[in-house]
Protein backbone atom coordinates (compact mmCIF):
# COMPACT_ATOMS: atom_id res chain seq x y z
CA UNK A 1 0.00 0.00 0.00
CA UNK A 2 1.28 3.45 -0.87
CA UNK A 3 2.01 5.97 1.80
CA UNK A 4 -0.30 8.96 2.09
CA UNK A 5 2.49 11.37 1.11
CA UNK A 6 3.25 9.32 -2.04
CA UNK A 7 -0.37 9.57 -3.16
CA UNK A 8 -0.43 13.34 -2.56
CA UNK A 9 2.87 13.77 -4.42
CA UNK A 10 1.44 11.99 -7.46
CA UNK A 11 -1.77 14.00 -7.30
CA UNK A 12 0.18 17.27 -7.23
CA UNK A 13 2.14 16.12 -10.27
CA UNK A 14 -1.12 15.39 -12.10
CA UNK A 15 -2.47 18.82 -11.11
CA UNK A 16 0.70 20.48 -12.42
CA UNK A 17 0.51 18.58 -15.71
CA UNK A 18 -3.17 19.30 -16.31
CA UNK A 19 -2.66 22.96 -15.35
CA UNK A 20 0.00 23.17 -18.06
CA UNK A 21 -2.59 21.70 -20.43
CA UNK A 22 -4.95 24.59 -19.46
CA UNK A 23 -7.53 22.33 -17.79
CA UNK A 24 -9.75 24.18 -15.28
CA UNK A 25 -9.56 23.12 -11.60
CA UNK A 26 -13.05 21.59 -11.56
CA UNK A 27 -12.20 19.42 -14.56
CA UNK A 28 -8.87 18.38 -13.00
CA UNK A 29 -10.70 17.38 -9.82
CA UNK A 30 -13.35 15.44 -11.77
CA UNK A 31 -10.70 13.50 -13.69
CA UNK A 32 -8.69 12.77 -10.55
CA UNK A 33 -11.75 11.63 -8.63
CA UNK A 34 -12.65 9.23 -11.43
CA UNK A 35 -9.19 7.65 -11.19
CA UNK A 36 -8.32 7.99 -7.48
CA UNK A 37 -11.70 7.68 -5.80
CA UNK A 38 -11.81 8.52 -2.08
CA UNK A 39 -8.13 9.39 -1.58
CA UNK A 40 -8.51 12.24 -4.08
CA UNK A 41 -7.72 15.71 -2.78
CA UNK A 42 -10.60 18.15 -2.37
CA UNK A 43 -11.47 20.55 -5.18
CA UNK A 44 -10.33 23.46 -2.98
CA UNK A 45 -6.88 21.86 -2.79
CA UNK A 46 -6.84 21.49 -6.58
CA UNK A 47 -7.73 25.18 -6.92
CA UNK A 48 -4.96 26.18 -4.51
CA UNK A 49 -2.34 24.17 -6.39
CA UNK A 50 -3.56 25.43 -9.78
CA UNK A 51 -3.24 28.99 -8.47
CA UNK A 52 0.31 28.28 -7.23
CA UNK A 53 1.30 26.76 -10.55
CA UNK A 54 -0.25 29.65 -12.48
CA UNK A 55 1.58 32.16 -10.27
CA UNK A 56 4.92 31.08 -11.64
CA UNK A 57 5.69 27.70 -10.12
CA UNK A 58 4.70 25.71 -13.22
CA UNK A 59 7.53 23.36 -14.11
CA UNK A 60 9.63 24.31 -11.11
CA UNK A 61 7.38 23.59 -8.13
CA UNK A 62 8.57 21.54 -5.22
CA UNK A 63 5.83 18.92 -5.08
CA UNK A 64 7.09 17.20 -1.97
CA UNK A 65 5.26 17.38 1.31
CA UNK A 66 6.95 19.86 3.61
CA UNK A 67 7.90 18.87 7.12
CA UNK A 68 5.37 20.30 9.51
CA UNK A 69 2.59 20.63 6.96
CA UNK A 70 -0.67 18.83 7.49
CA UNK A 71 -1.86 16.80 10.42
CA UNK A 72 0.83 15.89 12.93
CA UNK A 73 1.86 12.28 13.17
CA UNK A 74 0.49 10.51 16.21
CA UNK A 75 2.37 7.83 18.07
CA UNK A 76 0.80 5.12 20.14
CA UNK A 77 3.66 2.70 20.64
CA UNK A 78 4.67 1.57 24.12
CA UNK A 79 7.70 3.86 24.34
CA UNK A 80 5.55 6.96 23.79
CA UNK A 81 2.81 5.72 26.10
CA UNK A 82 5.38 5.19 28.86
CA UNK A 83 6.85 8.66 28.29
CA UNK A 84 3.41 10.32 28.44
CA UNK A 85 2.66 8.41 31.61
CA UNK A 86 5.95 9.57 33.10
CA UNK A 87 5.36 13.20 32.16
CA UNK A 88 1.76 13.38 33.25
CA UNK A 89 1.70 11.22 36.34
CA UNK A 90 5.23 11.21 37.64
CA UNK A 91 5.10 14.63 39.31
CA UNK A 92 1.39 14.81 39.94
CA UNK A 93 0.61 16.09 43.43
CA UNK A 94 -3.02 15.93 44.53
CA UNK A 95 -4.19 18.88 46.61
Residue 24 has pLDDT above 80, yes or no: yes
Q: Map out the domains of the chain with their CATH numbers.
A: 1-64 (1.10.10)
Mean pLDDT of 17-35: 92
Residue 36 near residue 14, CB atoms below 8 Å: no
Decide which of 29 and 88 is more confident.
Answer: 29
Confidence of residue 1 (pLDDT cuts 50, 70, 90): very low
How far is 49 from 13, CA to CA, in rounded Å?
10
How far is 76 from 82, CA to CA, in rounded Å?
10
Give pLDDT, residue 4.
54
Mean pLDDT of 59-78: 60
pTM: 0.57
How far is 34 from 64, CA to CA, in rounded Å?
23
Amino acid sequence: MEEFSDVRFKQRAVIEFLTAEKAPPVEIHRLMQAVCGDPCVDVSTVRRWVRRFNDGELGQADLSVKTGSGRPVTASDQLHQDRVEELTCGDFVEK
